[in-house]
């Protein structure tokens, strides 16, 4: 069983490393990720949202719905823990 797990892990690792061959260099300012969507975030965030912290602007404004989902995840986890761990109070 452990051998099977080891083989699976090694194959997954090799596939992942194989995928990084074509990736843009680390820190390249001309990579597609830095050229497509994020320049607009950096340049326009201050005037569109009046927030100097661009990460906050994206998190709470441009992608605020993801933050709502994340809050719901925390809520779900909290209520799930109550659901799983709650014990019947023994009445004397």
Partner 1 sequence: MIPQSPVLVVVIPLIFAFLTLLFGWFRRSFCYPITLVALSLSFFASLHTLHIVITTGTIHYYLGSWKPPWGIEYVVDYLNAFVLVIVSFVSLMVAIYSKRSVEQELPEKIVYFYCIFLLQVTGFLGIVITGDLFNLYVFLEIASLAGYALIAVGEDGAPFASFNYVIFGTIGACFYLLGVGYLYIVTGSLNIADLSQILPNLYHSKVVLVAFAFFLVGVSIKMALFPLHVWLPDAYTYAPSTVSALLAPLMTKVGAYVMIRVMFTVFKPYFSIELIPATTILGWMAAAAILFGAILALAQIDLKRMLTYILVSEVGYITLGVALANRNGLTGAILHILNDAFMMLALFLVVGAIMYRSGKREISQLRYLHRKMPFTMAVFVIAALSVIGIPPTCGFFSKWYLILGAIDANKWIFVAVLLVSSLLNVILFFRCIENAYLEPVAEHSSVGSELAITREESPLSMLIPTLIAGAGIMSFGVLSGKIISTIIQFALPAGF
Partner 2 sequence: MFNFIVSNYNYWIYIVLMMIGFYAMIGKRNLVKKIIGMNLFQTAIILFFISTAAKKGGTLPIIEHGHGHGAHAIQAAAYINPLPHVLMLTAIVVMVSTLGVALAIVIAIYKRHHTLEENEILWQQK
Per CB under 8 A, residues contacting partner 2 are: 1-2, 5-6, 8-10, 12-13, 16-17, 20-21, 23, 25-29, 33-34, 37-39, 41-43, 45-46, 50, 52-55, 58-59, 63, 66-67, 69-70, 73-74, 76-78, 80-81, 84-85
Question: Segment 46-65, which members bind partner 1 (CB under 8 A)?
Answer: 61-65
Report residue 23: phi and psi, to 5°: -75, 155
Taken in order 17, 21, 27, 31, the sign of the CA dihedral is: negative
Q: Which is nearer to partner 1, 33 or 46 (CB)?
A: 33
Give the helix/strand (H/E) hosting 20.
Answer: none
* Cα dihedral 57/63/69/73 (nearest 10): -50
- The residue within the footprint of partner 1, chosen from 4, 5, 18, 29 (CB under 8 A), is 18
């Amino acid at each position: 069983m452990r051998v099977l797990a080891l083989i699976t892990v090694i194959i997954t690792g090799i596939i992942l490393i194989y995928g990084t061959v074509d990736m843009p260099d680390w820190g390249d300012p001309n990579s597609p990720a830095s050229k497509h969507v994020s320049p607009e975030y950096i340049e326009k965030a201050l005037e569109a949202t009046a927030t100097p912290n661009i990460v906050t602007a994206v998190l709470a404004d441009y992608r605020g719905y993801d933050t709502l989902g994340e809050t719901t995840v925390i809520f779900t986890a909290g209520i799930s823990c109550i659901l799983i761990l709650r014990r019947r109070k023994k009445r004397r």
